[in-house]
Chain A
Amino acid sequence: MTKDTFNIAGTDFTSRLIVGTGKYKDFEETARAVEASGAEIVTVAIRRVNVMDPTQPMLVDYLDPKKYTYLPNTAGCFSADDAIRTLRLAREAGGWKLVKLEVLGDQKTLYPNMIETLHAAEVLIKEGFEVMVYCSDDPIMAKRLEDLGCCAIMPLGAPIGSGLGIQNPVQIRLIVEQSNVPVLVDAGVGTASDAAVAMELGCDGVLMNTAIAEAGDPIAMARAMKLAVEAGRLAYYAGRMPKKLYADPSSPLAGLI
């Protein structure tokens, strides 16, 4: 395989692993995990500045926005209006248009609210944002989002932070086959083999946070995820052997003594 890149909204990326920057012990650990993961894109949240203590360290001091593509996301938003407001602020804070839209519908499952998501996507795209969108694994919804102009479709593999692995390989594969923009599994990965499964299904990439941040050794897991995404991608490219019901010996039968 020659140089294997994928393109999001006009920019080529080499790493197919996007990592979140939440839940780490401190910014130092965040920076080390991101480094070990090889990720070129990191998701970040937008929150109020603590005006009482502005001397607190800031993420931008540990992860250089010139080195990494900051992908502001709307985690924690439960309405289209909140998500739109958050991303307008993000664009002003960072000065870039590439964002991750995520509108949640339920506190317990953090399942996406697709009606609000579609509405927010439409408004944001009209305002010139490049929208990567977290969505349900419904191929019809995924198509609608692509038709609206979203630059990447990101269905969940399992609920956010659950670490259950890819629960829906059939739906993920259907979305991969029908899409003309990158498809990334966003949420549900628990360990390296889950990331490999997502890539073997033909996904263009995987986005994760908790699987790395809550691992016993986040730095080691970050590296494991890097290797798993590369391995899964290479296996997909290579094309797996067909599955068979019965055995098939690897050694020739001719010349047996």
Chain B
Amino acid sequence: MIEITINGDPHEIGKGQSLVKLLQGLNLDPTKVAIERNLEIVPKTTYQNVKLIEGDRLEIVHFIGGGK
């Protein structure tokens, strides 16, 4: 197992897990979110190829109601 940070909270995941697998595990629809990994945007098309490593810091965001 390795430890990564998702939206500020620590999470334990399996070694070498891809972003796609992580999203599946979290029940998140990849088409409805955007992901930043260690302050870099991860293009949606590469979710399959990105393997997470110890200490990765992820921000997973989506659109919510908001005005100003």
Could you tell me which A residues sit within 8 Å of B by CB distance? 19-24, 27, 30, 43-49, 51, 54-55, 58-60, 70, 72-73, 75, 85, 88-90, 92-94, 102, 110, 134, 160-161, 186-187, 207-210, 213
Residues of A contacting B: mostly: mixed
- Chain A nearest CB from B13 CB (Å) reads 12
Q: Does A47 contact B61, Cβ atoms closer than 8 Å?
A: yes
Q: Does A49 contact B63, Cβ atoms closer than 8 Å?
A: no
**Which residues does chain A contribute within 8 Å of B11, judged by CB atoms?**
51
User: CB within 8 A of B67: which of A54, A55, A92, A209?
Assistant: A209
Q: Does B67 contact A43, Cβ atoms closer than 8 Å?
A: yes
Known: A89-B36, A89-B59. A24 touches B41 (CB 8 A): no
Could you tell me which B residues sit within 8 Å of A by CB distance? 6-9, 11, 26-28, 32-36, 39, 41-44, 59-68
Q: When chains A and B are docked, how far (Å) is the Cα of A187 from the Cα of B67?
A: 10
Q: Does A45 contact B41, Cβ atoms closer than 8 Å?
A: no
**Which residues does chain A contribute within 8 Å of B59, judged by CB atoms?**
48, 89
Q: When chains A and B are docked, how far (Å) is the Cα of A189 from the Cα of B44?
A: 38
Q: Does A46 contact B41, Cβ atoms closer than 8 Å?
A: no
Given contacts A20-B68, A75-B67, A93-B61, could you give 14 more A-B pairs where the C-beta distance is less than 8 Å? Answer: A19-B67, A20-B66, A23-B65, A24-B65, A27-B65, A43-B66, A44-B66, A45-B66, A49-B60, A58-B62, A58-B63, A89-B36, A90-B63, A102-B68
**Which residues does chain A contribute within 8 Å of B35, judged by CB atoms?**
92
Q: Does A213 contact B67, Cβ atoms closer than 8 Å?
A: yes
**Which residues does chain B contribute within 8 Å of A55, judged by CB atoms?**
27
Q: When chains A and B are docked, how far (Å) is the Cα of A90 from the Cα of B41?
A: 10
Q: Determine which residue in B34, B42, B59, B60 has the highest number of CB atoms from chain A within 10 A of its CB, and name it.
A: B34
- Chain B nearest CB from A40 CB (Å) reads 16
The residue of chain A having its C-beta at the shortest distance from the C-beta of B23 within the complex is A54
**Which residues does chain B contribute within 8 Å of A210, judged by CB atoms?**
67-68
Q: When chains A and B are docked, how far (Å) is the Cα of A49 from the Cα of B61?
A: 5
